[in-house]
Amino acid sequence: MLDNGFFHADPHAGNLLATPAGKLVYLDFGMMSYVETYQRYAIIEAVVHLVNRDFEALGTLYMRMGFIPPDTELEPIVLALEDALPDVLDASVGDLNLKNVINSLGDVFFQFPFSLPAYYIALIRCLGVLEGLALQVDPNVRIVSEAYPYISSRLLTDSSPELQAALQQLLFKEEKPRWDRLSQLVDRASERTDYNMSQVGEKLFDFLISSEGVAIREELIKEVIQGTEDLGEEVSTIFEHSLASSRLPSEEDFKSSARLNAVAKVATAVASSKSLDFNTILPLARRIAGDPVSRQAGIDIAAAVSERGLSRLIRRAFALSSDKKDAPDY
C-alpha cells in the first residue's frame, strides 16, 4: 500500500492462500483501491503522530488532507482524539485491538464534521480484516507496532519534501532537538534489512547546512556544547566520588549519569543497525569534514568546550585545594 499505492481491499482468509515457501497468494480482485503518493505520505505522517501521541499535528494533518473543513476549530477534535486513542506501541493487545480503535475513531468522526474519502474507508476496512486474520495466527500481534520499523525507515530515508518536513517536525520542537525520538526512530528502523544508515545521515546533514536549517543548526550547536559540559560535570563527579572512597568507578556509577545514558542509547541504536556499513558511512564523514559550514560549527564547538572544560578544571582544582588544611586562602 505505502510502496506502490495499489492494495487489495478485501483480504479475508477466503481470499488468501499460503504457499509452502511462506508466500501469500491473493485471490478475487473485485475489491481493490489506490492511494495517491501524497496520500501515502500523509498515512506515514499520521502513524508517526499517532505513535508519538501528537494529536495536534494529527488534527492539522486531517485538515490538510481535506477530511475536515479548513475553518473547523481543532482544539475539541484534538482532545477527542487524545481520549479515544491508546499508546499504540506499548498498549496491550486488548487496548490496541484495531476494531476498538476504529470504533473510537468512528465516534470522533461522527461527532465532528469529518468527510472521509473512499480510499480511506477501504484502507480502514482492509487493516481491520488483516488484523483479524493476524490475530488468528498470533493472538499477541500488534499491527501498528509491527509496521512501525517500515514507517521509521521511510521517514528517515525518504527524500520527499512531505516526509522531510514531517521528520523535522518530529525531531525538533521549538528548534530544540528531541534525542529520544531520534533514538526511537533509529532503533525501530534498524530492524529492517533494507534500512540505509548513510541515507539518514545525508538527509539530516543536507537540512542542517541549508538556509532553512540555520536556526536549528545554531540551537544544535548550543545543545552539543551544553551536553558536553553536562557530561563532563557528571563524569568528573563520578571520578571525584571514586577517589574520595578509594575505589574504581563501577558500572552503577555510570548508569546514574543521565547524559551518558542518553548518549549510549543513541549510540547503541546506531551501532545495532543491520545497515551500519563503514564503507557507506565514510563518504558522509569526509563530506562533513570538508564542508565549510560543518567545519566552522566544529571549530565553534571545540572552542567553547575547551574553554568550559578549562574553567571547570580550574574550579574543581580550587575546590579540592580548599578542603586541605594547608590550602592557601584565596
127 versus 203: the higher-pLDDT residue is 127
Residue 228: pLDDT over 90: no
Residue in the block written with cell 485471490: 27
Amino acid letter, residue 236: S
Residues 258 and 265 sit within 8 Å (Cβ to Cβ): no
68 versus 162: the higher-pLDDT residue is 68
d(CA 117, CA 216) in angstroms, rounded, equals 37
Beta bridge partners of 173: 176
- Out of 10, 54, 187, 253, pick the active-site residue: 10
- Please work out, in degrees rounded to the nearest 5, the angle formed at the alpha carbon of residue 257 by the alpha carbons of 254 and 261: 85
pLDDT of residue 206: 80
Residue-wise pLDDT for 115-147, tens only, equals 988 888 898 888 888 888 888 888 887 777 777
d(CA 163, CA 43) in angstroms, rounded, equals 11
- Comparing 145-149, 166-170, 313-317, the range with the smallest average pLDDT is 313-317
Residue 328: pLDDT over 50: no
Residue 291: pLDDT over 60: yes
Residue-wise pLDDT for 26-43, tens only, equals 999 989 999 999 999 998
pLDDT of residue 271: 58
Residue 300: pLDDT over 70: yes
**Helices marked H in the chain:** 37-51, 55-64, 74-84, 98-111, 118-137, 143-157, 161-171, 179-189, 197-209, 214-244, 251-255, 258-271, 278-290, 292-321
C-alpha cell at 314: 580550574
pLDDT of residue 86: 67
pLDDT of residue 189: 75
Q: Identify the CA nearest to 9 among candidates 122, 119, 102, 95.
A: 122
C-alpha cell at 316: 574543581
Q: What percent of the chain has pLDDT over 70?
A: 72
3-class secondary structure, 159: coil
H/E element, 25: strand 24-26
Active site residue 138: no
213 versus 112: the higher-pLDDT residue is 112
d(CA 100, CA 94) in angstroms, rounded, equals 9
pLDDT of residue 330: 40
H/E element, 213: none
pLDDT of residue 35: 92
327 falls in which pLDDT band (50, 70, 90)?
A: very low
Q: Identify the CA nearest to 79 among candidates 48, 111, 102.
A: 111
Residues 154 and 197 sit within 8 Å (Cβ to Cβ): no
Residue-wise pLDDT for 230-287, tens only, equals 777 766 776 666 666 666 666 555 555 555 555 565 556 555 555 556 666 777 778 7
pLDDT of residue 45: 87
Mean pLDDT of the chain: 76
- Report domain extents, the chain: 6-141, 150-321
